[in-house]
Structure 1
Amino acid sequence: MKSHQLLRCIFPDVLADYFDVVDIHESVSQFDFWLDERNFMEKSDHKLGTVSSYGFTSERVIQDFPLRGKAVYLHVRRRKWRDSSNGEIFTYSYDDLTAEGSRLSPEFVSFLKE
């Protein structure tokens, strides 16, 4: 099994598709995973030729399904982009990172509701 296949089994699809694991920390009671958005821009921005990577946002902590009886926290940093033609700084939107009004993954919220 390749590492990206393993990530798909553990993380929500949006994280496996667009983010890289940059660090992992395990303690007695929890796992912490640090994820950074990959350096891939949308085709329309790439064609413009004026958009470039501009660092990362502050991390956002999301609680996900427990693993092996331990709490799981995802520390997610999204990539910032800068359009040099107008100076605009923006991020791409992933609507399904957290459930509305929570800091939990949508799959975890659905599980808890059942």
Structure 2
Amino acid sequence: MNEHDLLWAMLPDGLDAFFDVESFEKTDRIFRITLTEKNTVPAELPKQYRGKRVINTVFKPVTVDFFPIKGRKTEIILKRRRWRFEGVDTMLRRDIALCAEGTKLEKEFADFLKEFN
């Protein structure tokens, strides 16, 4: 197992299908993993986007709190991609449900914390 495989093994299942590792930062207090969404337009497009040409993409970073690692706060920064299509006013983004509802906590981490309430 190489470093890349080890990192993906620690992250929530399925993220590697949609994201590439951009960077990893370690300080005395934090681990920060930055992932960039792949430039792959979702296969199932809503009707208004079908047959339209992608004219650009933009990123919207989202920070998700993850399980602490070795006493350090751990953040996953997801650079979420949004696609703009020719002739369509709204942008398209892939629906990836990673956070627990109403939080910025990764689902498994939120469930873990609920056990202490």
Check whether TM > 0.5.
yes
5+ residue gaps, structure 1: none
Structure-1 residue corresponding to 2:107: 106
Normalising to structure 2: TM-score of the pair? 0.80
1:70-99 C-alpha deviation (Å, 9 max, x unpaired): 11011111111122143432211112x110
Across the aligned residues of Structure 1 and Structure 2, the Cα RMSD in angstroms comes to 2.2
1:62–1:73 CA contact under 8 A, matched in 2: yes
Structure-1 residue corresponding to 2:25: 25
Separation in 2 of the partners of 1:44 and 1:83? 15
Structure-1 residue corresponding to 2:68: 66
Kindly, what percent of the aligned residue pairs are identical? 31
1:1-114 alignment, distance < 5 Å: 1-2=1-2, 5-45=5-45, 48-52=50-54, 53-57=56-60, 59-95=61-97, 97-114=98-115
Q: Alpha-carbon deviation of 1:50?
A: 2.4
5+ residue gaps, structure 2: none
1:2-28 C-alpha deviation (Å, 9 max, x unpaired): 455323321112422211121111110
Partner amino acid, structure 2, of 1:83: F
> How many residues are aligned here?
111
Worse-matched range after superposition: 48-57 or 103-112 = 48-57
Normalising to structure 1: TM-score of the pair? 0.82
Using a 3 Å threshold, how does the CA distance of structure 1 residues 83 and 91 change in structure 2: closer, same or farther?
Answer: same
Instruction: Name whichever structure is richer in helix by fraction.
Output: 1
Separation in 2 of the partners of 1:55 and 1:80? 5
